[in-house]
Each structure stands twice: as C-alpha cells, then as structure tokens.
Amino acid sequence: MTIAYAIEDGLEPEEFIDVLKRSGLDARRPVDKPDVIQGMVDNADLTITARDSDGRLIGVARSVTDFAYCCYLSDLEKTLKEEI
C-alpha cells in the first residue's frame, strides 16, 4: 500500500471523526460534539495526515508548536486496519 504523508490545513472534521472511530480513540475524544472537533481541527498549529492510495485518511498527528524550538503532540491516531 502506498501512503502519502502531508502537512494539511483545512482537515474536514468529519474525516477526523472517522479516523478517531476507526482508531478506537473515539471513546476518549468528543466525537459527539462537532463544535469541539471543529475547534480541535481549526486551532491545531500543525496537522500531518496519512492517506492511502485512494486518498482516504488513515492517520492524523495534531500538534501545538512555536515553529522554532518546541512541538507538542496533542493527538496521534491511526486506523486499526492499516499499518503506517
């Protein structure tokens, strides 16, 4: 399987929720609160995604960073099926 990694602004909240559900982390994240998820997606300083060859989102890393010295990873999820 070919995997494309990218810095991605404008990640759709629905895609993020889908990955949370397929990763099993939906039990620990507010997937039933779309406004909170929207804020999580919109306000991350750095979002790196992993997509399969069909363009389907299979992993997300969300971080808070100063872009000079520190980067704090706030979320790291990957779907249970794919190995990335």
Domain chopping of the chain, boundaries: 4-78
Q: What is the value of pTM for the model shown? A: 0.87
- Tokens in use for 29? 């994240």
For the segment 28-39, what is each residue's pLDDT rounded down to a tens digit? 999 999 999 999
Distance of alpha carbon 46 from alpha carbon 58, whole angstroms? 17
CATH dotted code for 4-78:
3.40.630.30
**Continuous segment of H or E residues that includes residue 38:** helix 34-43
- Tokens in use for 57? 């989102």
**Continuous segment of H or E residues that includes residue 67:** none
Which pLDDT score, from 0 to 100, does residue 82 have?
Answer: 63
For the segment 14-58, what is each residue's pLDDT rounded down to a tens digit? 999 999 999 999 999 999 999 999 999 999 999 999 999 999 999
pLDDT band at 81 (very low <50, low <70, confident <90, very high): confident
